[in-house]
Amino acid sequence: MTKEPGDGRDLDASLKLLWGDRTRPQRGRPPTLSLDRIVAAAVEVADELALTEGLDGLSMRCIAQHLGVGTMSLYRYVPGKSELLDLMLDHVVEVPEPDPDDRRGWREILRDEARGHWRLCMEHPWYPFVDQSRPLLGPNSVRGLDRLLGLLRPTGLPDRTLMMMVGAQTDFVDGIARSCINEMRAERRTGVSSEEFWQAQAPTLIDAMNSGDFPTMADLSEETFEFSHEELFEFGLERLHDGFESLVRAASE
């Protein structure tokens, strides 16, 4: 058995489960239970907890309760929560069918990919909070990456450069998504909206701006901070792609 130091994950078990080794237990298996059903239930529970307790509240016990089975019965299919998270990550990834008539340029391809990733994070608000510093890639994740890199190869850029572009975009989307979800969590936790939160600070901030100690801040237009996370996402995405543009242009010269 290969253990991943620091997270208690059984790498051998995770890889076998991700890539199709779903051997039936020899005995004691509840007839209505399956690994696929456990993973789907775990995603449902994680979605419910995402804006309250988050992943800390996700346990094998609460998943078992959701399924109406005993907690120990889950361990016949998956070693623990860490391995289950690997399966959940791959489960929620949706890979579009290849389109032989796809005529999109690289920028539109990356834009669609980023927006799809953003929707994934909003639909499953726990997703961008899973530690993926050492991810285990399952079939859906590999299939999606294979498809995306294949679509980007006509740019003529080296594979390493394409992979860094994809990584930079993924980290950008995850970062904005976490900020957006954290704001939703704060509102759910406190019952205070973001607008109410900033209104409560307004008198103190106005006094600070009138002090003369912050001349640039005091001179900012009223609409300076009036943008949503979605607007920030679209703005940052376009600027990121503007940077990629110089790489693609150089490769075509």
Model confidence pLDDT, tens digit, residues 178-203: 999 999 999 999 999 999 999 999 99
CATH T-level topology, domain 106-252: Tetracycline Repressor; domain 2 (1.10.357)
- Residue found by looking up tokens 């980290």 in the block: 171
The answer to whether the beta carbons of residues 109 and 148 sit under 8 Å apart is yes
CA 200 – CA 192 distance, rounded (Å): 10
Report pLDDT digits (tens) over 45-96.
999 999 999 999 999 999 999 999 999 999 999 999 999 999 999 999 998 8
Which residue(s) pair with 10 in the sheet?
3
Task: Give the amino acid at 96.
Answer: P
Q: What is the percentage of the chain residues whose pLDDT exceeds 70?
A: 92
To 10 degrees, the CA torsion angle through 73, 77, 83, 84? Answer: -70
Which whole number is the average pLDDT over 152-166? 97
pLDDT value, residue 1: 45
Superfamily of domain 3-91, CATH level 4: Homeodomain-like (1.10.10.60)
Supply the pLDDT for residue 9.
73
pLDDT tens digit string along 165-182? Answer: 999 999 999 999 999 999
Per domain, the residue ranges of the chain are: 3-91, 106-252
* Residue in the structure block whose two tokens are 């075509």: 252
